[in-house]
Amino acid sequence: MHSPSFTLVAPGRELAAALQHKIDTKTKPLGALGRLEHLALQLGLIQNSLTPQLHKPHVLVCAGDHGAARAGISAFPQDVTWQMVENFLAGGAAINVLARQAGLALVVADAGVAHDFGVRPNLLDTKVASGTSNYLEGAAMSAEQCAQAMQHGVDVVAGLAAQGCNVLGFGEMGIGNTASASLLTHCLTGLPLADVVGRGTGLDDAGVTRKRAMLQKALDIWTERRSDPLAVLARFGGFEIAMLAGAMLAAAERRMTLLIDGFIVTSALLVAAKIAPAILDYCVFAHCSEESGHRLQLQHLQATPLLNLGLRLGEGTGAALAYPLLAAACAFLNEMASFDSAGVSEKSA
């Protein structure tokens, strides 16, 4: 199976001046709404509209297991992945609560969990295999498996677009996936491995030291190392990360606004941005995670996150918390009076 192809161009800037004029003539001092003004401009450019609208916003949470987790790379047992998916399906996880609060619909996909969920009406069965292979011994995925996982992301986005969704947040679940994200980040950015390896689900200092050594071993045995993003993804990624990368590219291709969550989701974006750099113009960076390496990812992408709340949970929780700010930017652009319409005097010359 070949990897899906994408035709992705940056949003046009034909309306940039008109959008900026509309923002500047609202009843406020110039720039007084700060980052909301930048968000409003970005939304207008993405949708090529002076009156952008947010329709049927969703959060897509992809779950998958990692072969390396069985080698003890995480503080938690691998069974937590499927147990947390059950928690998502029961409505009891943090992402359920925060998505409900923000008015976001939640979509949960089994990209490759080592568990048989059976047929579940509220779980997308996009399982490529029951977890990846162990990258401490070889490639995590074959090229065909990587392509299949990415295509599943494309297919899910096509279904959401058909329902009218034009805003999509991204989340993940997978014990061991911060280690995978660290390897992807190192290989795709050139950042030192030690700087992008963190505590994940709660490793102590000794655990972090051991994790770094294991990840260095994984790099050392990849003697045919390449910088091609799909090769890096197949070598060290998870099915959930590959699915997210495909979904992101497909969402941007359909001119959706992408809400980017934390460290693992941003590692998927690093892959997507290597394939199609224009994707970054469609991204709203929700927050800066406490996970070691996320701030460095954001700096590499020259991205400014909306929030810094000390989060390190994943699941798309940062994206859910940031969505109301996106909605506020859209609302002020469309509903706030201008100086002319309100009969309010502007600043004196």
State the pLDDT at residue 46: 98
Catalytic residues: 315
Q: Do 71 and 190 fall within a single domain?
A: yes
Greatest C-alpha distance within the chain? 70
Q: What's the pTM?
A: 0.96
Q: Is residue 5, in this structure, part of any structural domain at all?
A: no
Tally the residues of the chain.
349
Helices 143-162 and 229-236 pack at an angle, to 10 degrees, of 100
Q: For 276-295, what is the mean pLDDT? A: 96
Give per-residue pLDDT as tens, 292-307.
899 999 999 999 999 9
Q: Is residue 105, in this structure, part of any structural domain at all?
A: yes
The CATH number given to whatever domain includes residue 206 is 3.40.50.10210
Distance CA 47, CA 134 (A): 42
Residues spanned by the domain of 192? 58-329
Q: Do 104 and 248 fall within a single domain?
A: yes
Q: Do 317 and 255 fall within a single domain?
A: yes
Q: Do 41 and 85 fall within a single domain?
A: no
Going from the C-alpha of 232 to that of each of 7, 115, 229, the distances in angstroms are 22, 26, 5
Q: What is the mean pLDDT of the chain?
A: 95
Domain count, the chain: 2
Q: Do 63 and 90 fall within a single domain?
A: yes
Q: Is residue 1, in this structure, part of any structural domain at all?
A: no
Give per-residue pLDDT as tens, 19-69.
999 999 999 999 999 999 999 999 999 999 999 999 999 999 999 999 998
Helix, strand or coil for residue 221?
coil
DSSP assigned state of 219 = H
Across 151-165, 201-215, 271-285, least confident range? 201-215
Q: Do 317 and 218 fall within a single domain?
A: yes
Q: Do 150 and 36 fall within a single domain?
A: no
State the pLDDT at residue 349: 58
Q: Do 322 and 337 fall within a single domain?
A: no
Q: Is residue 349, in this structure, part of any structural domain at all?
A: no
206 falls in which pLDDT band (50, 70, 90)?
A: confident
Q: What's the distance, CA 292 to chain centroid?
A: 17
Sheet holding 124-125, edge to edge: 124-125, 105-112, 58-64, 167-173, 257-260, 283-285
Q: Do 44 and 63 fall within a single domain?
A: no
Q: For 236-262, what is the mean pLDDT? A: 98
Q: Is residue 347, in this structure, part of any structural domain at all?
A: no
Percentage of residues of the chain with pLDDT beyond 90: 87
Q: Is residue 152, in this structure, part of any structural domain at all?
A: yes
Tokens 């959060």, residue located: 59
